[in-house]
Chain A
């Protein structure tokens, strides 16, 4: 049972345009969400997070939106740069219960110069 889903395995975007990466979850108890970026042969790197008390969080070119009623979050990258080409994972956890994160399967973003 995949509780966190990233339904697009890959995405290609032109440099300078907006990249939108999507993530859906099924567990309504999830209340904290993170995005990680992963380059080949490296470990995932923390990008941005959002708690369920917010619906938006911004950090520079990166913005995460949370729609709790739809159980959906998205990561917007504006403007996209070639260095953003990587695999992006979303992760979710519940503050009650166990401390484990559930990760999605990732979306490979390719930003074309």
Chain B
């Protein structure tokens, strides 16, 4: 158990819909990272927050947004969903900028 929690574990929705994925980092970790893993693909970095502020941005679509709240939990919002958005979404947290600890992921299926 990495100490990072993600909810929900599974999410099934329809095209055009909007969903919110939630992540609680390990106690004391200020950084939260979001990744997308599509079928047979590597982990694609989406975005990083540090203590409530956006720190780095990767290949995140404009339809996606994220935020980190004062209690350090983070939410990833995916809107106008398309079939191609079906993937595993991982959250990771870290205390420094080195080792990241990953949550179990949310499997999103868009029908």
Interface size of B by CB at 8 A reads 28
**What B residues does A42 contact at CB under 8 A?**
104-105
The answer on a CB contact under 8 Å between B42 and A103 is yes
**What B residues does A98 contact at CB under 8 A?**
55-56
Categorize the interface residue count of chain A.
Answer: 20 to 34
The answer on a CB contact under 8 Å between A99 and B42 is no
Chain A nearest CB: distance from B60 CB in Å? 11
Question: How far is B100's CA from A102's CA once the two chains are assembled, in angstroms?
Answer: 12
Closest-by-CB residue of B relative to A104 is B42
B76 within 8 Å of A (CB atoms): no
**What B residues does A105 contact at CB under 8 A?**
40-42
Q: List chain A positions with a Cβ less than 8 A from chain B.
A: 6, 32, 34, 36, 41-46, 49, 89, 91, 93, 95, 98-106
Q: List chain B positions with a Cβ less than 8 A from chain A.
A: 2, 4, 6, 31, 33, 35, 40-45, 48, 50, 55-56, 58, 90, 92, 97-105
Can you list 25 residue pairs at the A/B interface with Cβ under 8 Å?
A: A34-B98, A34-B99, A43-B6, A43-B102, A43-B104, A43-B105, A44-B92, A44-B102, A45-B2, A45-B102, A46-B100, A49-B98, A49-B99, A89-B42, A91-B43, A93-B97, A95-B97, A99-B55, A99-B56, A100-B45, A100-B56, A100-B58, A103-B35, A103-B43, A106-B42
